[in-house]
Chains A and B, each alone.
Chain A
Amino acid sequence: MIDVLKAIGRWLDARLQIGSTIAEVAEHPVPRSSASWWYIFGSATLVVFILQVVTGICLATVYTPAADRAWDSLIYLNYQQPLGWYLRALHGWGSNFMVALMFVHMIQVFLFGAYKFPRELTWVAGCVLLLCTLGMAFTGQVLRFDQNAYWGLGIGAAVAGRTPIIGFKVVDLILGGPIIAGETLSRFFALHVFVIPALLIGFVGLHLFLVLRLGINEWPMPGRIVRRDTYLEQYQELVHKDGEPFMPFAAQKDLVFAGLIILSLLVVAAIAGPIGPNGQPDPTIIETVPRPDFFFLWLFSLFALLPPWTETVLMLTGPVAAIGLLFALPFLSGTGEKSWLRRPFSVVIVILAATTIGTLTWLGTFSPWSPVMDAWSSAPTPVDYVKGRTPLELQGALLVQSKQCRNCHSLDGQGGLRGPALDDTATRLTRDQIVRQIIQGGGNMPAYGKNLTPAEVNAIVAFLATMHPRGEPPARDSASPAVPRQD
Chain B
Amino acid sequence: MTPSPEKTSRRTFLFRLGIAINAIAIGLFTIPIVGYVLSPARRFTWLDWIPLGPLTDYPEHQTRLAEYVNPFKKAWDGETAKIPCWVRRLADDQFQVFAINCTHLGCPVRWFAESELFMCPCHGGAFYSDGRHASGPPPRALYQYKYKVEAGKLWIYAGQLPTLGQPQA
Let me know if A10 is at the binding interface, CB within 8 A: no
Mask of B72-90 contacts with A, CB within 8 angstroms, 1/0 = 1110111111111000000
- The answer on a CB contact under 8 Å between B119 and A167 is no
Q: Is the CB of A178 within 8 A of B46?
A: yes
Binds A, one of B11-19, B52-60, B134-142: B134-142
Nearest-CB distance from B167 to chain A (Å)? 9
Whether, in the assembled complex, B101 has its beta carbon less than 8 Å from a beta carbon of chain A, the answer is yes
Question: Provided the pairs A157-B106, A288-B121 are in contact, do residues A280 and B79 lie with their beta carbons within 8 angstroms?
Answer: yes
Looking at the assembled complex, report how far the CB atom of A184 sits from the nearest CB atom of chain B, in whole angstroms: 8
Contact indicator A448/B115 (Cβ below 8 Å): yes
Within residues 132 to 167 of chain A, which ones have a CB less than 8 A from any CB in chain B?
Answer: 150-151, 154-155, 157-167
- A67 vs B82: C-alpha distance in the bound complex, in angstroms? 12
Contact with B along A33-75 (1 / 0, CB 8 A): 0000000000000000000000000000000001111000000
Minimum C-beta distance from A166 to chain B (A) = 8
B100 at the interface (CB under 8 A from A): yes
* Chain A interfacial residues counted at CB < 8 A: 73
Asked if B116 lies at the interface with its beta carbon under 8 angstroms from chain A, I say: yes
Decide: A175 and B65 in contact? CB cutoff 8 A: no
> Is residue A169 within 8 Å, beta carbon to beta carbon, of the partner chain?
yes
A171 on the B face (CB < 8 A) = yes
| Contact across chains for B79 and A179 when beta carbons are under 8 A apart | no
Bound state CA distance, A450 and B116, in angstroms?
9
- Checking A66, A151, A376, A444 against B107 with a beta-carbon cut-off of 8 angstroms, the contacting residue is A151
* Nearest A-chain residue to B112, judged by Cβ: A404
Partner of B139, one of A157, A304, A311: A311
CA distance A312 to B72 in the complex (A): 30
Smallest beta-carbon distance B48→chain A, Å:
10
Chain A residue at minimum C-beta to C-beta distance from B46: A178
Which positions 441-462 of chain A face chain B at CB distance < 8 Å?
441, 444-448, 450-451
Whether B64 sits at the interface, judged by CB under 8 Å, is no
Q: Please judge, given known A-B contacts A161-B165, A446-B117, A447-B134, whether A370 and B139 are in contact too, CB under 8 Å.
A: no
**Which range contains the number of B residues in contact with the other chain?**
35 or more
Q: Which residues of B contact A408 (CB under 8 A)?
A: 124
* Residue B67 interfacial (CB < 8 Å): yes
B122 at the interface (CB under 8 A from A): yes
Q: Could you say which residues of chain A place their CB within 8 Å of the CB of B138?
A: 308
CB distance from B28 to the nearest CB of A (A): 23
Of the residues A175, A304, A376, A446, contact of B161 by C-beta under 8 Å: A175
Residues of A within 8 A of B79 (CB): 67-68, 280-284
A340 interface hit (Cβ, 8 Å): no
A303 close to B112 (CB less than 8 A): no
Contacts from B to A (Cβ < 8 Å): 38, 40-41, 43, 46, 65, 67, 70, 72-74, 76-84, 100-101, 104-110, 112, 114-117, 119-124, 126, 128, 134-139, 159-161, 163-166
**10 closest Cβ pairs, A-B complex:** A161-B163, A167-B165, A68-B78, A168-B166, A178-B46, A446-B134, A154-B106, A178-B160, A158-B106, A304-B123
